[in-house]
Chains A and B, each alone.
Chain A
């Protein structure tokens, strides 16, 4: 199915980096993507697949931001964002930093480095997890470069290579 998309383009974003890397360890992240495929089956456009880390990933060129996946995700970690904002937070953790650190190698620990770094005051820690406000983000990637946990991702694959 081909849909005409309206600029500025929007797409779904899965806010999990592949926390399943923690699956091998004893502690387990309860906020991350479990790879249940609910979103992938709900998407009529075939825009979602499960990547090598076992978590859902959106192909933005196929996504029309209908929001179906947002509604079906049992973990509530999918949201719609504007594609022009390519620096994104890929974590939905809400545990305290010390626990979050044990549960996953790439979890946000709420250290606040990104919040202090951001020139636009666009990043804030809410419930122990970084959130980027896309209205104010200047997409510079400074938070991503400074984050000790590789929580942010550059969807263009320049500052981070993706998966």
Chain B
């Protein structure tokens, strides 16, 4: 019998298993998270005999006599130190990586009370964080070291919860200590485990499905196929073309298409049962890329469609062709950007059960609980559904679609039993929609002073196996291709093609990360051609308050692009003077969905019996810190203290639908709705009511961000209510060719919480350093993604250069107290800035990402 200690108690596992499984499933110590179970992510890190180890690696049989410490086993003092340090440094976003980081911190500080920066980076480098870019985690470790040495917890840096205060996030402590619950942390009585059998071929016709052997396996509770679906099989955001289960006779669209769903008493039985399902296929030729999809004799990805075109956009204003013809300088080129995986730390998971009202109750990790509700309602054909957002371990756009929620709901609906459906990391890499691969041809014309005369472009994207948000992504790629400049001749044509690759959809930047790389690179080339600096050409063309964007929109006085250019100028000039290679990129990104689509924020403030004001908004916090933003809104717009306010995670039965966490919209749209609810609350307050009198009252705020549709027949359409602007500067070390520093200046309107804002910037920049230099998502001949989580090329703690986040606080808009938000734009101008820096370094112009011939390129040929 094997025995070892966990947090000081002697334990004896019932069977040999991975330590992580034993900790979570048998001991229900849930701080160690399961992010991959393959040794890559580090979310499962614990201490074994004082050393940081990934607990998904060792078998319990190998641990005889060893001592294991998890976050739950920290001393009371340590929990205080780490909670304070991580919260105060702003190190916690989605939080999924944090317990692992905390254990690395302890392992380091126990041996080295005063570590240097590089020692800290090394201590964290085997653990990934996708949200923070590590900058603030490193700061947290440093702070924890200082507190540990001094033996005293200092005062909080800010305790005034007004807008603009660098307050500690509300959810920091529960995420540091691992007590906050993600869906995978729910273990319900009698809970089944569910998983889908996926298609063996990317494109094949399913001839028959025989589930009898699987059903006969002891422990299997249900094996479901398409015929068991009570409502619509096909679901989806806008276009309903995502099959829940492929029916016999149906076509498969990619390797992630589900054929049958198995629910059983435990995971091992589920896997065994999946192998017993016999599926007969007629294998058909697959569509691998845009060219194959566009060919006249192309096989069709969908039986239901007449061709492989998922979306087509044509936008034209002025006369681009003529303007380019008359321009003094013209540059034309072909560009490509790769697929990118979101690589959020928490794989998709949903837990569902029938609640005491007889309703379907779903704990989900998604970007909108109401979206999950709509889609499950469609699938099940019933309204008796509740969705509750658990903590969300990162999304970045990758959790906007249904991946597990609908499967869990279907199993519970038919078996009446609680179930957990969770994707393995390999499934996650295959299944959720990715960032689109784009192929783009652009022509830009400028006059002798470098003033843009016109831009004409054609772009094509590979949207993979179902529409997801492929249409809107294409549209945003097209509208924002013009860049944050003022000129009046712009024409772009875009097509999104279905292929049998994994689906592509929303990803931080929403199409703009792709076209911005092109526009900004062209502008950098143009600067050389005209003979002015890349900074100067931007300054000359920049959109300024009351200028007219290429889409015809007149921008208001909150427009801060020039301020961001000015903010990086001193460092840009200094770098150039010192002979260092430096590159620039600018970007704009809408806040709010825009282009005429109804975009409503809704917030309810309810005074509950605890005499506190509870904020209910059907808006997901996917790690960005929405709860803290809303509490700061309430403190600013009422006479309440933050202790009198409680933020409730989004649900679908009390929280009014406030739209998807997408399009960098929550701070602005839900923020304004919240402010309006506060106004109503204050009317009552002014009548002299106190919280005691107000128990049971609620105050509802709603805000419709009104915009004009694309192509609206008005001279100056309002495409979006607001835009954020940014300039980023990348400086290389001229000796090593590595990035020395990235300076990111962002105009965010009023910065609600500058600490969180910096965290968003750092995280977004590091994500796009990866996009620019290394991240890949290659797909093989069988339309299968090749890489595992650990080989995607994500940046690690010791590889991240210095990042200086400059938050330009320039309130202007009359809504949401002037806040605009920042989510996506942080990732947009980084790649072109880096690309230009490398051009200045070695005079090789690169037209595709990730950039080749840099010191970050993987050289061992395994890519």
Contacts and interface: CB of A to CB of B under 8 A. Distances in A.
A145 B58 contact: yes
Contacts of B862: 121, 124
Interface SS, B side: loop
Given A133-B860, A141-B57, A156-B51, A119 B119 contact: no
Interface in A116-163: 118-122, 124, 133, 135-136, 138-142, 145, 156, 158-159
Contact of B788 (A119, A141, A145): A119
B791 A140 contact: no
Interface string B23-47: 0000000000000101110100000
Nearest to B128: A138
A145 B791 contact: no
Interface residues of A, number: 21
Contact of B40 (A7, A119, A158): A119
Contact of B59 (A120, A122, A135, A145): A145
Contact of A142 (B38, B66, B118, B858): B38
A142 B54 CA distance: 9
Contacts of A121: 787-788, 790-791, 862-863
A69 B49 CA distance: 32
Given A8-B122, A124-B862, A141-B39, A119 B53 contact: no
A118 B62 CA distance: 20
B430 to A, nearest CB: 15
A120 B122 contact: no
A140 B125 CA distance: 11
A119 B41 CA distance: 10
Nearest to A85: B126
B789 interface: yes
Interface string B49-81: 101011001110010001000000000000000
Contact of B790 (A8, A124, A138): A138
Nearest to A84: B122
Dominant SS among interface residues on chain A: loop
B126 A138 contact: yes
A158 B51 contact: yes
Contacts of A84: 122, 125
B793 to A, nearest CB: 9
Contact of B860 (A8, A124, A142): A124
Contact of A138 (B39, B49, B59, B118): B39
Given A8-B118, A159-B62, A120 B54 contact: no
B116 interface: yes
A34 B788 CA distance: 39
A145 B18 CA distance: 11
Given A124-B862, A141-B58, A158-B53, A119 B39 contact: yes
Contacts of A120: 40, 788, 790-791
B126 A119 contact: no
B48 interface: yes
Contacts of B126: 138-140
A140 B122 contact: no
Contacts of A119: 36, 38-40, 788-791
Interface in B527-555: none
B562 to A, nearest CB: 42
Interface in A5-29: 7-8
A84 B790 CA distance: 18
A145 B48 CA distance: 15
Contacts of B66: 158
10 contacts: A121-B788, A138-B39, A138-B40, A140-B38, A140-B39, A141-B53, A141-B57, A141-B58, A142-B39, A158-B48
Interface of B: 36, 38-40, 42, 48-49, 51, 53-54, 57-59, 62, 66, 116, 118-119, 122, 125-126, 787-791, 858, 860, 862-863
